[in-house]
Structures are given as structure tokens and as C-alpha cells.
Structure 1
Amino acid sequence: MLGNFFDKLKNGLSKTKNNLTSKISDVLTSTVTIDDDLYDELEEILITSDIGVETSLYIIDKLKEKIKENKVKDPSLVNDCLKEVIKDILGDKKGSLMPKQIPETILVVGVNGVGKTTSIGKISSRLKSQNLKVIMAAADTFRAAAIDQLEVWSKRANVDIIKHQEGSDPAAVVFDAIEAAKARKADVLICDTAGRLHNKKNLMNELEKINRIIDREFSQSTRRTLLVLDATTGQNAVIQAKQFMEVCKVDGIVLTKLDGTAKGGIVIFIKHQLDIPVEFVGVGEGIDDLQEFNPSDFVEALF
């Protein structure tokens, strides 16, 4: 399963590899000395791979330190130093599907269109396959078809769903879902939430109300908030993340559509800029194509 996923990750990152690591290899192959010109070329490649200016400058500074530290003179060895720098940025914390403690409540946030509903379906399916009892709460009650979409995924994942009519109070849905989770002894409650960032004040009030209800009615559950971002949007994803961090505490990132973009460098940018771990990555449409993020595997697949 994991080997299979590493292959998917490698294939999924092929566009990013062509955009990033292949260009770096070409530059290093044609370079005779490690000098400022080389650093400038590497910096330009990083910036154009959606790693962002600030993060790219940071990587080049750290690369210079590492090359000096290891007394590297041969340009062909620069690649290994670069890999080490990127691994240092990403850290070694792997994404984890399993709850730290049962029961757990997962709030899923993200703007419409990033793959929020699909991610909830895939996470539910994975948890179910680990013999955990899952309930979905369809608390994105404002977007037409959000409830219907989640219901389709609940059937695919074979988990229960609690829903109200479109336009009803999201907090009321979460209240009923908590009652169901307690009555049915669910291990994990996953709540879909509205993705209306253009109206941040409303969203903040809504999330505060939902969190208050969880505090009051389901205090025995641990809680984490996952933010879903679309890798194909590149640096816009980081702007979205910063806006969501203003309205709620974000514990981890779900990065979807990594296989559909040459902007896979966004993973490095997210970790450096936000210091929030990428917990899950999506590298395909299938129900099993959302997996825990492993920083070391990511760097190996990239290079």
C-alpha cells in the first residue's frame, strides 16, 4: 500500500519535477564552479516553482551555509545539500490519520472548490478501513449541493451522516451530530463547515458558535481543525491559509490535487511561511488517493 502510494506520489509530482528538480539538475550539470551566478540561477528556479521569494532566499542562504560547512567544491554535489535544506524546512513530522484519543472531532475548513467534501469522504473512508466508527456532519448548509455531495461520499465511505435542510443553522447540525455520535458511540465526528472567506466576520462567528457547542456538548472529545487547500492555486493557497488562520486555529493542512500541478513546491512554502504541518496530500481521484504526508518521501519523490 505504502510502496504503491510512493509510486503515486512520484508520478503525481512529475510536473513539479519537470518544473523544479529537472531544471536544477540541468543547471548543475552545465556548471563548472559554485559561484554567485549559480546561486542566482537556482534562486530563480525556486521562485518560479511557487516556493515564493522569501522562502527561496531562505533556502539559498541555508544552501550556502551547508556547502561551506561540508566544504563542497563539486557542483554535482549541490543537489544533495539542497535536499538536506528542504528536509530541514519540512521537518520529520509525518501526517497522522489516527486520533490521538477517542472520541475525536475534526472540523474541516476551506473555500468552496478546493476539494473539501471529497477530502472528508476520503478521510472517512480511511478511518472506516481502520475499524473506526465515523459520523459526518453536513454543516456547510449555505452552498447549494454541499449537503448532497457529502451524502454521496457518506454512501461511498459507508459512514453515517447527520444533515438538515439547506440554509439551516450549521451549529444546530453539529449539535445533532454530537448527540448522534454519543448515542452511537462514534470514534470520530467529522464536520464540514462553510467556505465563505469573502465574508470573514460571518464565518468567524459561525466557527466560534460551532466550537462553543463542541466545548459544551462534547467536551470529552479531542479536536483538530484541518484546512483544505488546492495545490494548483499555488501561492494563493498560502494567502487563503493566512486568512483562515485569522478566523480559527488551524492544526494541519490537507493539500489536494498535487498530481495536477507543477506547483508542488507550495508544500515547502506552506511549511516555511505558516509553520503548519501538511497532514494529508491528494494525488489522484480515487477514494484511496488521499494519504498521510511523509516529508522524507516527498523530498525523495521530488528529487
Structure 2
Amino acid sequence: MWTYIGVAAAILLVVGGVLLGLVRGSRSRNRHLDEAPPEPGTPGPSDADLAPDGAIGTIEHPGEVVEDEVSPGAGPAVAEPEAPPAPTVETPEAPAGRLRRLRARLARSNTTIGKGLLALLAGGRLDEAAWEEVEDTLIAADLGVAASTELVDALRTRVSVEGTTDETVVRGWLREELLALVDPTMDRSLADSRIDGRPACVLVVGVNGTGKTTTVGKLARVLVAQDKDVVLGAADTFRAAAADQLETWGGRVGVPTVRSDREGADPASVAFDAVAAAAEMEADVVLVDTAGRLQNKVGLMDELGKVKRVIEKRSPVDEVLLVLDATTGQNGMKQAEVFAEVVGITGIVLTKLDGTAKGGIVVAVQRALGVPVKLVGLGEGPDDLAPFDPEAFVDAIVE
């Protein structure tokens, strides 16, 4: 009996195997029928695509190919985002080039002084009335009464001694006397290099409306053109747009700006932070912009004095530049005197000198304060600020 049972089991195994083979063959044929035939000329799989047994991948379900295994820790391949384009950094014009260009503009703006004086002096009728007219012309040009009288007396003496009113000769005399008044011997250098291993510190002050923040931005361009590493401090925290304006100026030439994100922040604190940051960056110079002040407002002027004192806890203040509007004339003299008392002015920046024929303010402010005009602004362009050159200034007037 066991023999019959064994034979029956063998027959069942054979029949089962045949049926299983038929099912697999049917599935294989269906899979190949579902697949689109390859396009003519399409290359077959390469050796790299073949599994070790020659099969193309491993089939889990009809038509589904399992991808190659990814190494542990490796995420999906993601394209790196494109970096935003770097901001364009401008190259400011060199100061030497500015002086040549600005001299012509200065000559045009001061023709009243030069032509008026030369016409009077070369007229041949230098009586007392004529000399009074010469003096009035100089006073009207904001030269100041004392300086005007001094210049007229010197010219009268030369004309009397030499006995000539030749225009070429008189022009030479006028140039010499004006140059003596402007005083080319004054030190007009700017604190723009490291001092005793620290950045030079420049505090910029002035009344409202003189273009002070713009002047700081333009001064940064002057220094960058001289290969100086500059840091700006936006300590004008009362005018909402002042810090943004200064940061824009600095960004154009690649200069960082230290500012507060809070409107109305303590300006002394911002100034202190700017000086500290400049030291950490090992910059050559830090320029600190301050809020515009009215010289007759005691509280505002006292606060300006506080800004300077707080800075000095971190670093000496090497330069205090007063920005004056040349068109304000003698009123600018009163402003200058008050600022000099509060923070100790070391130099003057005259803006808008191209908008007036009253270039005599250069002489007047220097004589009143005993400090030199160091920079002049002669236009609205970003590079229209230049170091003051006494000889170029005087030549522009008399030529």
C-alpha cells in the first residue's frame, strides 16, 4: 500500500510543477507584451547596467525596476541653488583727477571775485572811491572785513610803490595777496591712517541741511580711492533715513556701516560700537556721522559733547570735521564758533562751493577758528568732494 501512496505523491508533484511553470510562462509572456519594443537603432543595456547574473535589474512587479542601492547617509541629489550676484562695487575717482576737474568748476563759480577785482584794479583810476569799491567787492564775497581791509591795504601799497596798473602785474599781486590770506602753510592733512596700532577716528558734525551725511559718504569714497580700509558709524539716530542713506553710500564702495536697528537709539552708544568694530576689523579709519544740530540749541550741543566723550572711552578722537554750507556766508561763521567750543574743531568741509561766488568764506572761517579748510564740495556727483588745495583755489579765482 505504501508503494501506491508514494507513486501518487510523485504524480502530484510532477503535475504541480507543470502547472507552476505554465503560470510563470504566462506571466513572463504578458510582461513582454506590455513592454514597448525598442526603437530601431536604440542601444541595448551596457555591461554596467547588467546585474551579476546578466538580468537587467531585479523585477519585483511587472514593469517595475528596483533602483540601485544608495549608500547610507547619502540623501537625494539636489541641485545647489545659484548664489545671488555679488553687488557691484564702484571704483571712486582718484583725488588728483578730482582736483583737475573741480578747478575749472571752481573758476566758473568764483568769477565775480576775480573779474570784478581785476576790472577795478586795471581800470587806471584807482582813487579813494575805487579802492572802497574793491574793498566792498571783497566783503561781499564773504572774505570778512578784517581780511578785506588787509588785502586792499597791501594792494594799494604795491600800486603806489610800483606806479603801474598793468593787468598782468596786478593779477600777480592779487594772487600773491590772496594766497597769503588763504595760508598754504596750514596743515590740511586728514587723520586717515592707523595711529598707534588703532584706527584713526574722525567725528563729523554740523547743522541741519548742510549735507553732512552725504559728505561722510563722499569722504569714504575719497579714502577708498586712496586704498584706505574704512568703517562708517551711523550715529545720526534721530533722522529715520540717515542710517539707510549712509549704508547705501558705504555699500557702493564696499565699506561696512555700523548702525542700530532701533530708531532713536542712543547716538553715543552707536558711535562707541562703530569705533570698537573698526578696531576689531583692523581698519585704517572710522568715520562717525552725527545728527544735525542747531547751534543755538543747548541740549543738542551738550549731547554732541557726550558723543565725543563716550567715544574717547574707547579711542581718542583724532579729527573733528565741521561741515559748513558755503552759501550761508557769515552765518556759517557763527555756527562754526559754537561747534568749536563744544567739540573742538580740527578742520572744515565746505559744501556747495560751486553754488556761490562767495569763495571768501574759506579765508573768513580759517581766520576765525584758526583751523584749515580741508575738503570742499563742488557739486552733486558722488566724487565731487576733494581735498582743498589753496593754490588751485586762488588760481581759480584770479584766472
TM-score (norm 2): 0.69
Given candidates 262, 283, 298, the residue that maps to 1:201 is 298
**What is the 5 A alignment of 1:53-92?**
53-67=145-159, 71-76=161-166, 77-92=169-184
2:9 is equivalent to residue 9 of structure 1: no
**Contact residue 9 and residue 283 of structure 1 kept, 8 A:** no
Given candidates 103, 113, 133, the residue that maps to 2:229 is 133
Partners of 1:266 and 1:75 lie apart in 2 by 27
Using a 3 Å threshold, how does the CA distance of structure 1 residues 66 and 109 change in structure 2: closer, same or farther?
farther
- When you count helix as a share of all residues, which structure comes out higher? 1
Question: What is the aligned partner in structure 2 of residue 177 from structure 1?
Answer: 274
**What is the 5 A alignment of 1:144-159?**
144-159=240-255
Question: What is the aligned partner in structure 1 of residue 238 from structure 2?
Answer: 142
Partners of 2:193 and 2:122 lie apart in 1 by 47
Given candidates 12, 24, 40, the residue that maps to 2:132 is 40
Q: CA RMSD in A?
A: 2.1
Q: Deviations over 1:90-147 (max 9, x none)?
A: 1113633463643200000011211111111111112122222111111111123222
Q: Report the Cα offset of residue 67 of structure 1.
A: 4.3
Q: Deviations over 1:249-272 (max 9, x none)?
A: 000000111112122221122223
The SS at the match of 1:144 is: coil
Q: Report the Cα offset of residue 66 of structure 1.
A: 4.5
Percent of residue pairs bearing the same amino acid type: 43
Q: Deviations over 1:28-64 (max 9, x none)?
A: 33224x4423311211111222223232122222333
Question: What is the aligned partner in structure 2 of residue 30 from structure 1?
Answer: 123
Return the index of the structure with the highest Cα Rg: 2
Partners of 1:100 and 1:183 lie apart in 2 by 15
The SS at the match of 1:211 is: helix
Q: Could you list the runs of 5+ residues in structure 2 that have no partner in the other structure?
A: 1-93
Using a 3 Å threshold, how does the CA distance of structure 1 residues 198 and 265 change in structure 2: closer, same or farther?
closer
Using a 3 Å threshold, how does the CA distance of structure 1 residues 111 and 30 change in structure 2: closer, same or farther?
same
Q: Report the Cα offset of residue 12 of structure 1.
A: 2.9
Partners of 2:131 and 2:278 lie apart in 1 by 55
Using a 3 Å threshold, how does the CA distance of structure 1 residues 98 and 208 change in structure 2: closer, same or farther?
closer
**Contact residue 31 and residue 38 of structure 1 kept, 8 A:** no
Partners of 1:127 and 1:99 lie apart in 2 by 7
Partners of 1:249 and 1:14 lie apart in 2 by 34
Given candidates 353, 360, 367, the residue that maps to 1:272 is 367
Question: Between Structure 1 and Structure 2, how many residues are aligned?
Answer: 297
2:378 is equivalent to residue 292 of structure 1: no
Question: What is the aligned partner in structure 1 of residue 114 from structure 2?
Answer: 21
Partners of 1:45 and 1:199 lie apart in 2 by 30
The SS at the match of 1:218 is: coil
**Contact residue 327 and residue 356 of structure 2 kept, 8 A:** yes
**Contact residue 191 and residue 318 of structure 2 kept, 8 A:** no
Q: Report the Cα offset of residue 298 of structure 1.
A: 0.6
Q: Report the Cα offset of residue 288 of structure 1.
A: 1.9
Runs ≥4 residues deviating over 3 A: 64-68
Question: What is the aligned partner in structure 1 of residue 141 from structure 2?
Answer: 49
- Amino acid aligned to 2:306: K
**Contact residue 105 and residue 223 of structure 1 kept, 8 A:** yes
